[in-house]
């Protein structure tokens, strides 16, 4: 620890400076390599989440390779099924929203209704916003595919830049292919690495390091995997609820709210765009704004009840979770340092830091408070 009673000798100051330099160099190296490390990080997280399922299947088929093949086949079928069902619906939602925005900024019946039902200042602000070229272009019919390509180029410029823009089909397949290859290799070696890595630790440090890693893995398995399952379930709840009440962009908004729920209660921020699309839906259908807003609130309440009453007790149990404030701060810091790579590793690294703090810092404090002769018990 820094704040202890040990004297700050020259050797100790040098070691602290070298440690700080090592940490800075590691962060700088990760930032420099983040473009090529993102696919590996995605595959590693997927492997960590999918390994328990592989172990269950392996208990039935007795072969690790066959279990991985069956698990990946099921995973691919689910992803393809979601893609075939959800993506066309989202494309229609984008086109529908584009038509509504065009009507709102023109002298249409919808614009006249908005001018009558909304306060003049609010209506003018909305009209100016929807009339921006960026907003208009975003909701073009083909913008969903182009938006996905733009996101891939921004997140993975190191890989996407290797391929000419002429081969757009290949561009759409390269990144998932690289992630899939990483995923197969990681799953094949997952159990072997979990056993062999202990032998690489020098014997004097092996016991402490192994117990620390086991504590970190326990925190990750209880919290990180559980939070991913809860987030996926909330994506379905929000998207289905918004789709049933007919909100524009309901599926896209629901998926976004489910994803941000990785940080507990952060989905509350989705109330702002939800109110906006509820108002547009009320103008389009002629319904009462308060009725549509009430239905939207029911979806939020239902999702919160499902999360707090059903999902969290069953999936998370009594696991010690991270504070929402700590999670949001972690995402902000790591995202700022390493971009997309930082967002992917933010929660695991936070769990790692907290496990280290509990294992070493607090343990040393407790040991120092014990009377002489009791610390080694």
For residue 225 the two structure tokens come to 């995997």
> Which 3-state string (H, E, C) describes 181-220?
HHHHHHHHHHHHHHHHHHHHCCHHHHHHHHHHHHHHHHHH
Q: What is the pLDDT along the chain (377 residues), one digit of tens a residue?
A: 444 556 667 777 777 788 788 878 887 887 777 777 888 888 888 888 888 888 889 888 888 889 999 999 998 898 888 888 887 888 788 888 878 888 777 767 778 878 887 778 877 777 777 777 777 666 665 555 555 555 555 544 444 444 444 444 455 567 777 888 888 888 888 877 777 777 777 777 777 777 777 777 776 766 677 778 888 889 999 999 999 998 888 888 899 898 888 776 677 788 888 888 888 888 888 888 889 999 999 999 999 888 888 887 777 655 555 666 777 777 788 777 777 777 777 777 777 777 777 666 555 555 555 555 454 44
* Cα–chain center distance at 286: 37
Residues 6 or more apart whose Cβ sits within 8 Å of residue 47? 183, 186, 187, 190
**Which of 340, 52, 368 has its CA nearest to residue 224?**
52
For residue 48 the two structure tokens come to 């960590």
Residue with tokens 């590691």: 26
Give the pLDDT confidence score for residue 110 in this predicted structure.
78
d(CA 256, CA 268): 12
Backbone angles phi, psi at 165, to 5 degrees: -65, -15
Give the pLDDT confidence score for residue 304 in this predicted structure.
87
pTM confidence score:
0.68
Other beta carbons less than 10 A from residue 221's beta carbon: 15
Range 345-372 burial, b when 16+ CB lie within 10 A, else e: bbbbebbbebbeeebeeeeeeeeeeeee
For residue 284 the two structure tokens come to 């389009």
Range 71-82 burial, b when 16+ CB lie within 10 A, else e: bbeeeeeeeeee
Give the pLDDT confidence score for residue 284 in this predicted structure.
83
Give the pLDDT confidence score for residue 70 in this predicted structure.
92
**Angular region, 180: left φ>0, alpha ψ -120 to 50, beta rest:** alpha
Other beta carbons less than 10 A from residue 175's beta carbon: 18
């Amino acid at each position: 620890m820094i704040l202890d009673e040990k004297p700050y000798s020259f050797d100790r100051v040098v070691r602290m400076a070298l440690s700080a330099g090592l940490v800075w160099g590691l962060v700088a190296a990760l930032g420099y390599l983040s473009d090529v490390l993102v696919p590996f990080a995605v595959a590693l997280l997927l492997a960590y989440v999918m390994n328990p399922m592989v172990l269950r299947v392996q208990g039935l088929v007795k072969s690790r390779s066959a279990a991985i093949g069956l698990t990946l086949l099921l995973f691919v079928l689910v992803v393809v099924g979601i893609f075939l069902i959800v993506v066309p619906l989202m494309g229609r939602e984008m086109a529908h929203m584009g038509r509504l925005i065009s009507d709102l900024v023109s002298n249409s019946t919808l614009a006249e209704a908005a001018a009558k039902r909304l306060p003049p200042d609010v209506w003018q602000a909305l009209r100016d916003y929807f009339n921006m070229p960026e907003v208009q272009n975003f909701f073009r019919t083909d913008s969903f595919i182009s938006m996905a390509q733009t996101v891939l180029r921004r997140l993975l410029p190191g890989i996407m830049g290797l391929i000419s823009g002429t081969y757009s089909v290949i561009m759409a397949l390269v990144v998932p292919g690289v992630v899939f290859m990483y995923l197969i290799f990681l799953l094949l070696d997952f159990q072997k690495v979990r056993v062999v890595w202990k032998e690489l630790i020098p014997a004097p440090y092996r016991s402490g390091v192994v117990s620390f890693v086991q504590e970190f893995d326990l925190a990750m398995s209880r919290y990180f995997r559980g939070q991913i399952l809860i987030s996926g379930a909330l994506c379905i709840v929000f998207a289905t609820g918004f789709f049933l009440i007919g909100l524009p962009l309901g599926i896209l908004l629901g998926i976004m709210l489910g994803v941000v729920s990785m940080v507990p209660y952060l989905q509350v921020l989705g109330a702002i765009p939800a109110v906006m699309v509820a108002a547009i839906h009320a103008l389009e259908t002629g319904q009462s704004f308060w009725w549509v807003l009430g239905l939207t609130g029911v979806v939020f309440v239902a999702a919160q009840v499902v999360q707090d009453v059903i999902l969290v007790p069953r999936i998370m149990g009594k696991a010690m979770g991270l504070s929402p404030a700590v999670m949001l701060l972690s995402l902000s810091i790591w995202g700022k340092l390493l971009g997309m790579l930082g967002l992917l590793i933010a929660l695991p690294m936070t769990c790692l830091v907290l496990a280290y703090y509990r294992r070493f810092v607090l343990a040393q404090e407790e040991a120092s408070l014990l009377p002489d002769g009791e610390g080694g018990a």
